[in-house]
């Protein structure tokens, strides 16, 4: 069975500091994908970054980078130079069931990030 675990229910970080949000996963599929989404108080899900299990390099998107450690089954999100607007709920997610049309995205429990001015 596939599972996503986020062990940090909440984090406080000073503005302009970097922050790492933890995510571990479990799957028996050799092919999978990992996502990070941001959910502000408005409720919309904002896609941040994607890492495929066969990707050789860690994914980066602007201030977001994904620290992918396959052997440890971890996919931590790193936000550099945090901003007040980064305060939100962050979800790690995994595409289960490989590349088949039946594949679906399952979510971790989330981490609430609060940026202090």
Partner 1 sequence: GAVVSQHPSRVICKSGTSVKIECRSLDFQATTMFWYRQFPKQSLMLMATSNEGSKATYEQGVEKDKFLINHASLTLSTLTVTSAHPEDSSFYICSARAGTVYEQYFGPGTRLTVT
User: For binding to partner 1 (CB under 8 A), which residues are involved?
Assistant: 33, 37, 42-45, 47, 50, 52, 91, 95, 99-110
Closest to partner 1 by CB, 9 vs 117, is 9
The gap from C-alpha 109 to its chain's centroid, in whole angstroms, comes to: 11
Closest to partner 1 by CB, 60 vs 109, is 109
Closest CA to 73 of 53, 48, 102, 99: 53
Chain length of the chain: 117
Those residues whose C-beta lies under 8 Å from the C-beta of residue 57, and which sit 6 or more positions away, are none
Helices (H), 1-117: none
Closest to partner 1 by CB, 19 vs 49, is 49
Report, in Å, the least distance between residue 98 CB and partner 1: 8
Report, in Å, the least distance between residue 115 CB and partner 1: 19
Report, in Å, the least distance between residue 26 CB and partner 1: 16
Closest to partner 1 by CB, 104 vs 116, is 104
Report, in Å, the least distance between residue 25 CB and partner 1: 14
Q: Which phi-psi region, left, alpha or beta, contains residue 49 (left: φ > 0; alpha: ψ -120 to 50)?
A: beta
């Amino acid at each position: 069975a596939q599972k996503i675990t986020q062990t940090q229910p909440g984090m406080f970080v000073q503005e302009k500091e970097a922050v790492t949000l933890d995510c571990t996963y479990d799957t028996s599929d050799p092919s999978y994908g990992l996502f990070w989404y941001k959910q502000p108080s408005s409720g919309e899900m904002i896609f941040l970054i994607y890492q495929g299990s066969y990707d050789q390099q860690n994914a980066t998107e602007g201030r977001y980078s994904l620290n992918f450690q396959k052997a440890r089954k971890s996919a931590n999100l790193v936000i550099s130079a945090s901003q007040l607007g980064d305060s939100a709920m962050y979800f790690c997610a995994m595409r289960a069931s490989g590349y088949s049309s039946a594949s679906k995205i399952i979510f971790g429990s989330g981490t609430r990030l609060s940026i202090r001015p």
